[in-house]
Chains A and B, each alone.
Chain A
Amino acid sequence: MPVISYIDAISRGLWEEMERDSSVFLLGEDIGEYGGAFKVTKGFLHHFGSDRVVDTVLAESAILGAATGAALVGMKPVAEMQFADFVTCGFNQLVNNSASIHYRWNLPVPMVVRLPSGAGIHGGPFHSRNPEAWFFHQPGLKLVAPSTPYDAKGLIKAAIRDPNPVLYFEHKRLYRHIKGEVPDGDYVVEIGKGDIKRPGNDISVITYGAAVHLALEAAEMLEKQSGISVEVIDLRSLMPLDKDLILSSVRKTGKVLIAHEDTLTGGIGGEIAALIAEFAFESLDAPIKRVGARDIPTPFAPTLEEYFLPNKERILTALRELAAF
């Protein structure tokens, strides 16, 4: 099976869907001739033409409003936010319009918003956000956050085919950093299904996105050092959550760490912790622990950014505390 990068997996997924379904089209800032800020859509303009690869004005509200409208008339738009941070300018379109249309008008809104998100690239406070928790709270949206090339391709295809507005969080630091086996040709990763990235018996780590890789490294190290067996659950979909997978893992291990790169307070981890406390209380052998970024805007200085972000050591510390409890 070919080994490709995370960013190429996204590109291939988009490409295949555009080949497969002529109602799929792309819109965003500088995605055409320039190929997008991260070159996800490089070469798309020449192959698919300017009707299907649309450069837009620098106005996220307009992009998301147009995408919503196009979806309502039967198209399948895939809108790119140049950086996930900028989605704030289109927030109203997403949460008030896209998310509620199906409930108000009983119409499908098959749109996808791609959000290059995450820190660790020295992008500072305006180019590093993980804004998923804002949308997690908004009923009517689906949220996915792949951590591997395989899931990236499978989820972009599933997102495009889904009749709901789907927010696709693609982590910038994983773009060229993470490579993996990706089958040629068509497959989808079902939205709402998590994945056991590493089976284990003693502690569960519930995580998603870039933090999956930190958790895997920490789990490996802990197993080697102390023989403690850590299970790593990659949520892949944040909305809907794979509750069955989360609860079955916690029921198996009795100890759980929730890790995400987003800042801790009000992050998705809180909801997962509540879910576990409510439905797996009697299986808990230790307090639920969380690791996330510190509650400050993303610092620009590399050393401060390093301090801000969750890392392998912080996850290891939390895992050791759980193991010792």
Chain B
Amino acid sequence: MAIVDVIMPQMGESIAEGTITKWYKKVGDKIAKDETLLEISTDKVDSEIPSPSAGLVAELLFPEQKTVDVHTVIARIQTDVHAPLMPVPEHVQSKTENPTPEIGSTIDSSLEPVTIRQSTSAETNRFFSPLVMNIARAEGISLSELEKIPGSGANNRVSKKDVLDYIERRKSGGATAYIKPSTAGTPSGSVEVIKMDTMRKAIAEHMVRSIHTSAHVGSVAEADVSKIVAYRERHKTDFEKREGFKLTFTPFFVDAAVKAIKDFPLINASVDGDSIILRKDINIGVAVALENGLIVPVVKQAAGKDFAGLARAVNDLSNRARTKKLAPDDVQGGTFTITNPGIFGNLFGFPIINQPQVAILGVGAIKKRPVVINDAIAIRSMVYISMSYDHRIIDGALGGMFLQRMVQYLENYELGIMN
């Protein structure tokens, strides 16, 4: 008789915990594989969690509204429905205090894709002593954060003193100042204090960390997308009839970005200490605004999809983002992100890089503008595309060339793209 553990999934790379909002089953209930077992809420996404296995619900380890660390075992499914419900031995019931080392021993192999791959941690070349790792764990310093601490030891090793100094700096201002309530700066007069919810805190943390991590620099290019606008106008009815959803502009930009990334692969990278990690898969994150925040689901293996495939993927992900049906895997593994400041009519924006990526593209509003073509003034559908990129590894030349290559792809969209 096999017991399959259900773990709190990691719904995003920076997510450390989730709240169980509703159990759909009780102990003893039958459940099918992929049938919804519970609903969870994290700081990025609310999601229904399917059962990893068919069987009987053997144990629900936490009550509703309880917040637990990711990778904690939260329920157990007994796969043999005919066996009596067996109590699980004491020693495996304990909650994982320190999730990482226990992952292998507590989760069923079918769930393994959900385990954390901490950004580029496995590829680190820097040595951290047991003590430094220990302090980092106790203080909640991630490996990628550790890697950024300049070391004063031999071969620039981060010593105990370095990490303690870092913690001191962090406490006294530094990277997490945004979380620390300011005692000096409470404004007087008529105010309303709004507590950040978990999603807001996570966004705040990620944004400030990104600013502290990457040397942001921006470029803006202008593209004439009249052909795309006309093409969409002509085909949108057929498209919707055939595909069952509306054709938006987003897949055009995703497609152009994928093509330009193939030409300039350094855009699709991460920085790990003094190494540049080229990401061979092109996984495009597409920012989706939600009622109270935003989430960035990822179009995986975008290079292997044709236009219709990209359009379907974008539609599917944004739908599921809005209906809280994203799976953990949907929001992980992005290598490049596209966001859309134009959705509210703005011309362009200056987005913040989605770590550990090195570039993010902002698509402005498509507007008709008078432009000069061959010394004549014409009315064309124009868009500004802006890109923030990490100047540590991407120079202005590369960033500019990449944007211009995107412009070329956008302006020369040929027929037959909807094959």
Chain A contact residues, CB within 8 Å of chain B:
254, 281-286, 324-325
| Cα separation A217 to B134 with both chains bound (whole Å) | 32
Given A254-B129, A285-B159, A324-B154: 14 more A-B contacts, CB < 8 Å = A254-B160, A282-B130, A282-B131, A283-B130, A283-B131, A283-B134, A284-B130, A285-B129, A285-B132, A285-B160, A286-B129, A324-B153, A325-B154, A325-B159
A325 touches B153 (CB 8 A): yes
Chain B window 129-157, contacts with chain A (Cβ cutoff 8 Å), 1 for yes, 0 for no: 11111100000000000000000011001
27 A-B pairs with C-beta separation under 8 A? A254-B129, A254-B131, A254-B160, A281-B130, A282-B130, A282-B131, A282-B133, A282-B134, A283-B130, A283-B131, A283-B134, A284-B129, A284-B130, A284-B131, A285-B129, A285-B130, A285-B131, A285-B132, A285-B159, A285-B160, A286-B129, A324-B153, A324-B154, A325-B153, A325-B154, A325-B157, A325-B159
| Cα separation A3 to B343 with both chains bound (whole Å) | 88
Nearest Cβ on chain B to A235's Cβ, whole angstroms: 23
Nearest Cβ on chain A to B240's Cβ, whole angstroms: 60
In the complex, which residues of chain A have a beta carbon less than 8 angstroms from the beta carbon of B131? Answer: 254, 282-285
**B146-192 interface (Cβ within 8 A of A):** 153-154, 157, 159-160
Nearest Cβ on chain B to A272's Cβ, whole angstroms: 17
Chain B window 62-92, contacts with chain A (Cβ cutoff 8 Å), 1 for yes, 0 for no: 0000000000000000000000000000000
Which residue on chain B has the smallest CB distance to residue A287?
Answer: B129
| Cα separation A325 to B159 with both chains bound (whole Å) | 7
| Cα separation A286 to B154 with both chains bound (whole Å) | 10
| Cα separation A282 to B130 with both chains bound (whole Å) | 5
| Cα separation A146 to B398 with both chains bound (whole Å) | 70
| Cα separation A325 to B132 with both chains bound (whole Å) | 13
Which residue on chain A has the smallest CB distance to residue B163?
Answer: A285
Which residue on chain B has the smallest CB distance to residue A250?
Answer: B131
In the complex, which residues of chain B have a beta carbon less than 8 angstroms from the beta carbon of A283? Answer: 130-131, 134
Nearest Cβ on chain A to B166's Cβ, whole angstroms: 14
In the complex, which residues of chain B have a beta carbon less than 8 angstroms from the beta carbon of A324? Answer: 153-154
Which residue on chain A has the smallest CB distance to residue B128?
Answer: A285
Nearest Cβ on chain A to B150's Cβ, whole angstroms: 16
Nearest Cβ on chain A to B356's Cβ, whole angstroms: 27
Nearest Cβ on chain A to B323's Cβ, whole angstroms: 45
Q: How many A-B contacts at CB < 8 Å in the complex?
A: 27
| Cα separation A276 to B129 with both chains bound (whole Å) | 14
In the complex, which residues of chain A have a beta carbon less than 8 angstroms from the beta carbon of B133? Answer: 282
In the complex, which residues of chain B have a beta carbon less than 8 angstroms from the beta carbon of A281? Answer: 130
In the complex, which residues of chain B have a beta carbon less than 8 angstroms from the beta carbon of A325? Answer: 153-154, 157, 159
Nearest Cβ on chain A to B161's Cβ, whole angstroms: 9
Nearest Cβ on chain A to B101's Cβ, whole angstroms: 12
Nearest Cβ on chain B to A91's Cβ, whole angstroms: 40
| Cα separation A325 to B130 with both chains bound (whole Å) | 13
In the complex, which residues of chain B have a beta carbon less than 8 angstroms from the beta carbon of A284? Answer: 129-131
**B90-148 interface (Cβ within 8 A of A):** 129-134
Which residue on chain A has the smallest CB distance to residue B133?
Answer: A282
Most buried by A among B130, B153, B157: B130
Nearest Cβ on chain B to A314's Cβ, whole angstroms: 19
| Cα separation A13 to B160 with both chains bound (whole Å) | 45
Chain B window 320-350, contacts with chain A (Cβ cutoff 8 Å), 1 for yes, 0 for no: 0000000000000000000000000000000
Nearest Cβ on chain B to A82's Cβ, whole angstroms: 47
In the complex, which residues of chain B have a beta carbon less than 8 angstroms from the beta carbon of A282? Answer: 130-131, 133-134
| Cα separation A282 to B133 with both chains bound (whole Å) | 8
| Cα separation A324 to B161 with both chains bound (whole Å) | 11
| Cα separation A284 to B134 with both chains bound (whole Å) | 9
Nearest Cβ on chain B to A297's Cβ, whole angstroms: 35
Nearest Cβ on chain B to A47's Cβ, whole angstroms: 56
In the complex, which residues of chain A have a beta carbon less than 8 angstroms from the beta carbon of B153? Answer: 324-325
**A-B pairs, 9 with minimum CB distance:** A285-B131, A282-B134, A285-B160, A285-B129, A254-B131, A282-B130, A284-B130, A254-B160, A281-B130
| Cα separation A281 to B159 with both chains bound (whole Å) | 15
| Cα separation A281 to B130 with both chains bound (whole Å) | 6
| Cα separation A281 to B131 with both chains bound (whole Å) | 8
| Cα separation A283 to B160 with both chains bound (whole Å) | 10
| Cα separation A285 to B159 with both chains bound (whole Å) | 7
In the complex, which residues of chain A have a beta carbon less than 8 angstroms from the beta carbon of B132? Answer: 285
Nearest Cβ on chain B to A321's Cβ, whole angstroms: 8
Most buried by A among B131, B134, B157: B131
| Cα separation A254 to B161 with both chains bound (whole Å) | 10
Nearest Cβ on chain B to A170's Cβ, whole angstroms: 37
Which residue on chain B has the smallest CB distance to residue A321?
Answer: B154
In the complex, which residues of chain A have a beta carbon less than 8 angstroms from the beta carbon of B134? Answer: 282-283
| Cα separation A25 to B154 with both chains bound (whole Å) | 57
